[in-house]
Amino acid sequence: MKKVYGSAAEALDGLLFDGMLIAAGGFGLCGIPELLIQAIKEAGTKDLTVASNNAGVDDFGLGILLQTKQVKKMMSSYVGENAEFMRQYLSGELELEFNPQGTLAERMRAGGCGIPGFYTKTGVGTQIAEGKEHKDFDGETYIMEKGIFADLSIVKAWKADESGNCIFRKTARNFNPPAAMCGKVCVMEVEEIVPVGTLDPDQIHMPGIYVHRLIQGEHEKRIEKVTTRARAEA
């Protein structure tokens, strides 16, 4: 099965449609599928629901899809670095489904495992619990959260072989694996593609069975917040 494609646009060909649900990997600006996001912008696909830890920043990551108003709804746990997100949400232009960070990751993982729902204590007694089923186990109250079953997963890894077996780098491992699992189709971008058999099986973080299409590309790797201090005088 051919998994390696020449570009992000080629890898997404035939997969995009208006109103779809996309699970996007990344943590802040670390390990985000920036090439695939740019290709979705250029394709003009609209009315998107995007499940992602955050919404990028104003001019990078998922933020560029907010600028073009291609996103109808975000399912996120943190959106504090994006002024356009805040403007659209407060003006009623954008729907927001807030999730505790661990709950969002588990909803993606559950979807990838075929689990339609699970119970968690996180959010009990808060707005997160409103309208959700409550159930007691051993004297403790839990709420039910639903697994996320996305139409498409877009993720980024550091290195992969031609079958899609991949390795993530450090913080990029937070949300990329569960995001990759929960999509009907997973498209992955990587910094380097190597021949099958090159990677040590014990070092592989995500088996290629989850990955349907694969591209290699150059990445900008922006820093979300640059903090500097004055140089000390000798």
Tell me whether residue 56 is in a domain.
yes
Nearest to 65 by CA among 78, 77, 30, 52: 52
79: tokens are 């959106």
Taking the mean position of all CA atoms in its chain, how far away is CA 117?
19
Separation CA 231–CA 234 (nearest Å): 9
Write down the pLDDT at residue 14. Answer: 97
Q: Is the pLDDT of residue 77 over 80?
A: yes
Tell me whether residue 187 is in a domain.
yes
Number of domain units in the chain: 1
Q: What is the mean pLDDT of the chain?
A: 93
**Three-state SS at 167:** strand
Contacts of 18 (CB under 8 A, 6+ apart): 45, 46, 47, 48
| Domain encompassing residue 178 | 8-115+148-216
The residue type of 197 is G
Q: Is the pLDDT of residue 55 over 90?
A: no
pLDDT in tens, 85-131: 889 989 999 999 999 999 999 999 999 999 999 999 999 999 999 99
Residue 176's CATH number:
3.40.1080.10
The residue type of 32 is I
Tell me whether residue 27 is in a domain.
yes
Tell me whether residue 134 is in a domain.
no
pLDDT in tens, 200-215: 999 999 999 999 999 9
130: tokens are 């409103």
Reported as a pLDDT band with limits 50, 70 and 90, residue 80 is confident
Tell me whether residue 77 is in a domain.
yes
Tell me whether residue 40 is in a domain.
yes
Mean pLDDT, residues 6-35: 95
pLDDT in tens, 220-229: 766 666 777 7
Write down the pLDDT at residue 224. Answer: 66
Tell me whether residue 228 is in a domain.
no
Tell me whether residue 142 is in a domain.
no
